[in-house]
A and B are shown apart, each in its own frame.
Chain A
Amino acid sequence: MSTNETIESNESRERGKAPAGERIADWADGRLGIYSLAKANMRKIFPDHWSFMLGEICLYSFIIIILTGVYLTLFFHPSMNEVEYHGSYVPLQGQLMSEAFSSTLHISFDVRGGLLIRQIHHWAALIFLAGMFVHMMRVFFTGAFRKPREVNWLFGFLLFVLGMFTGFTGYSLPDDLLSGTGVRFTQGAILSMPIVGTYISMFLFGGEFPGHDFVARFYSIHILLLPGIMLGLVVGHLILVFYHKHTQFAGPGKSNKNVVGMPLLPVYMAKAGGFFFLVFGVIAVIAGIAQINPIWAMGPYRPDQVSTGAQPDWYMGFAEGLIRFMPGWEINLWGHTLVLGVFIPLVLFGVVLAALAMYPFIEAWITGDKREHHILDRPRNAPTRTALGVAWVTMYMVTLVGGGNDLWATHFHLSINSITWFVRIFFFVGPVIAYILTKRICLGLQRRDHDKVLHGRETGTIKRLPHGEFIEIHEPLSQEQLHTLTAHEQYQPVAIGAAVDENGVERKVKGKEKLRAKISGAYFGEDQQIPKPTVEEYKEITSGHGHH
């Protein structure tokens, strides 16, 4: 197969001419310096693990959203002018609606393939956000956010938050009854902001709600401003992934100083490139068989109409839940109103997300660790972090459930009031329970690893000893397994430094330092982790009476 090529290239060499591809590359290198770039990256190593592809799901759905979004702009009219509908969807014939709504109907019913592209766009958006959420959790629970990747964690976090708002503005564009209700909620939430709320609302909507402007304004935010920033962040995120090189799980031959896997060219070029088509293919099939956001069934927006089951897309369900379970507190003082019932959820929304964003910095402060980390933690080996993460996810999920309380009520024959009360209580209690349970499970798993290292794997074979006792045969682990199970690091709690310095002068112990010692104790103190087996322990057991 390659013989012909070799002969050909030999011939062309002989005629003093390199193959065309090589000549183009030479031309480009002379102007762009691509060879130096390629030298570092062409055979870049990527480790194989399915969870390392979650980020790719996000990247590819983002690209799909951009491609389909550009197509949709060719037909969508971001205008709130009222028009009478005379398209092909009969149940809306002659109805008054905004041009935004009628052009969305046009895309859905009269542009061939328009409905497919709309549905791909919307499904990809839901999957994009879901993918980012899971990707972020993978990074969190394996400790991949540690130095040197804190900045990339923030980039990723910003992408998630911006993705939420890009999704929200896009969802509002068709100006249908459901999304309009969501915009109304946003306007109400803005109004609740002390001092500036009324002004921001007037400026954002060009006057009173709904006004004639918000679709056009959301449009430029949705298709230009937010995706522009996101594109920049995505590029930065990827450059950093290349620059830092990928993290890997501990295992034989894998260390903090190397990365083990397959080269970009050709394996990952084919796998990652192929994965783009796989993601696109799956989403296209979903868009062909499952309907999403049927705006024709919802009708055009009217501020005096509403439907039950008014929810935002899933990624805003968290905000929806916060606002649904909040009691209606309102303070009237000195001629002003503080709308706590809306404003507290608004603040909580920011605080809960910010807590996640800041976590890497908090953990770095507690451990005081300034080294680079490229080997991932197994979640059980960082029990406090894992427990905190599960507590956060629990809080998020309880709130998400609260955002759909009316649907759970009808589908599980429950009272909406009981569900709301359940969410009110479990918003606080749920994370505590989750924290305690998770920590115990992690410690249990650590203990099991500990026993496995020292006593070997349970084979399930039962043997009867001469004196009649039954024992299970334990098979010693291979060195690969021993290494993998003991490769993790264990911190010691930070002690408060001596109160007297080397010159005998009394030193003031700052409150911050005490706080850190306390938290550090909760993270790494006694009973907060199972000390991993030492070589001495292992040798003592194995050299003694042998395995049983």
Chain B
Amino acid sequence: MSSQDIPEENLPAEQDHAHGSAVGVADEQNPFADPGLPPHEHRVQDIDERAAKRSERAVAFLFTLSMLATVGFIASYVAIPADKSVFVFPIGHLSALNFALGLTLGTALFTIGAGAVHWARTLMSDVEVADERHAIAAPPEVRAKVHADFKQGAKESALGRRKLIRNTMFGAIALVPLSGVVLLRDLGPLPEDKLRHTLWSKGKLLVNMNTNEPLRPSDVAVGSLTFAKPEGLEEHDEEFQNEIAKAALMIVRLQPDNIKDKQELDWSYQGIVAYSKICTHVGCPISLYEQQTHHVLCPCHQSTFDLSDGARVIFGPAGHALPQLRIGVNDEGYLEALGDFEEPVGPAFWERG
């Protein structure tokens, strides 16, 4: 890896003239030589006191404007109610308070900056100065001294000689962070089979998300789209979010002879199919259902599934079909689940298999 072996001639010739500051006269020998810093030219403000005065007044004006803007900010804060809406062309209806505070604060800050920069640009010296650089690396004698000091220190510690001390020390230092790692164990439970089960089980009714009523087959028309949750799961439940993240269902009705997949037909009820609403890619709730093509699209990464063909993936980054829930009708005529999903819903994971 070392590049010591690169011969010097491969590197470009040093362009610097060793004494950068000594140049300044045109070099007959080398027309490309550095002519040195050009002479300083005066600004109007440097030679005309009236121009300088104008600059001074401009800076003072900007600083004064800033003070006024701050007063305006405080006045707006006090005077404008938080819920007041105004129409500002061409923006539209917006919060009067936010608009006033933003503009006054912005002006108060911007004019301080503009004043300072204008001051620096017109009134402070603009003579360019050259500053010498020094090598970043230390000179050889410093380098030698540091190395010698280190070697002496290392020798005095006898770390190299007393191997037992060295090895046990490394061992101790290597082990001690383990305590910290162990402490992270209680961040969460082990996965076990949590990702494999949902609230669905045999006999659970399919409850309409919108009306919170159990669904009947006659409610679900061909071409319609309905979302359902398992009976008994309510929005106020402690675990609602975790459960709905797995149990959310998308229900559509197809003409039974439009269903190409045999298992899909078997698991449907009179053409009503229930699919997991959770994308098998990374878990967005897909539900962009096109009722004529029977395609359903995920709004996050555009995975597209064909609901008339076992919800197989026809485009996009999802790796496998949407899980289907087997449904039937109970004695009272309501749609019910005939069991849990047969495979894990949502994104794939290592143990999924």
Contact = CB atoms under 8 A, between A and B. Distances in A.
Chains A and B are bound partners: yes
A45 B114 CA distance: 22
Contacts of A208: 194-195, 242, 245-246
Contact of B248 (A303, A453, A480): A303
B114 A274 contact: yes
Nearest to A253: B37
A192 B282 CA distance: 9
B349 A339 contact: yes
Contacts of B109: 277-278, 280-281, 284
B120 A257 contact: no
A210 to B, nearest CB: 5
A479 B33 contact: yes
A73 interface: no
11 contacts: A88-B82, A113-B77, A191-B350, A202-B189, A243-B136, A277-B109, A281-B106, A335-B353, A338-B350, A372-B135, A542-B31
Interface stretch (B43-51, B91-99, B324-332): B91-99
Interface string B98-142: 111111011111111111110111001110111111011000000
B110 A188 contact: no
A488 to B, nearest CB: 8
Contacts of B94: 291
Given A255-B17, A256-B16, A289 B351 contact: no
Nearest to A489: B12
Interface string A36-59: 000000011100000000000000
Contacts of B99: 288-289
Interface of B: 1, 3, 5-7, 9-13, 15-17, 20-21, 23, 26, 29-38, 77, 82-83, 91, 94-95, 97-103, 105-117, 119-121, 124-126, 128-133, 135-136, 184, 187-191, 194-195, 209, 227, 229, 235-236, 240-242, 244-246, 248, 277-278, 281-288, 299-303, 313, 315-320, 346-353
Contacts of B11: 367-369, 371, 491-492
A323 B353 contact: no
Nearest to A95: B235
B140 to A, nearest CB: 15
Closest 8 CB pairs of A and B: A288-B102, A188-B282, A281-B110, A330-B319, A274-B116, A253-B37, A277-B113, A368-B6
B95 A185 contact: no
A475 to B, nearest CB: 15
A2 interface: no
A281 B36 CA distance: 39
B303 A483 contact: no
A36 B9 CA distance: 42
Contacts, number: 400
A244 B331 CA distance: 83
A16 interface: no
A198 interface: yes
Interface in A97-118: 109-113, 115-116
Nearest to B286: A306
B127 to A, nearest CB: 8
A116 B105 contact: yes
Contact of A281 (B9, B107, B128, B132): B107
Interface in A184-214: 184-185, 187-189, 191-199, 201-211, 213
A202 B191 contact: yes
A536 to B, nearest CB: 11
Interface string A174-189: 0000000100110111
A328 B316 contact: yes
B256 to A, nearest CB: 27
B34 A252 contact: yes
Given A116-B101, A289-B102, A270 B350 contact: no
Given A185-B283, A328-B317, A482 B32 contact: yes
Contacts of A350: none
A497 interface: yes
A258 interface: yes
Given A262-B126, A285-B102, A303 B299 contact: no
A259 B191 CA distance: 60
B113 A274 contact: yes
A99 to B, nearest CB: 14
Interface in A368-393: 368-372, 374-375
Interface stretch (A17-25, A220-228, A307-315, A465-473): A307-315
Contacts of A278: 109-110, 113-114, 117
A330 B320 CA distance: 8
Residue among B191, B229, B287 having the largest count of chain A Cβ atoms under 10 Å: B191
B82 A491 contact: no
Given A113-B101, A270-B124, A304-B227, A277 B112 contact: yes
A495 interface: yes
A109 B95 CA distance: 9
B98 A115 contact: yes
A399 interface: no
A491 B94 CA distance: 59
A162 interface: no
A44 to B, nearest CB: 7
A188 B281 contact: yes
A35 interface: no
B15 A487 contact: yes
B24 to A, nearest CB: 8
A453 B5 CA distance: 35
Contacts of A449: none
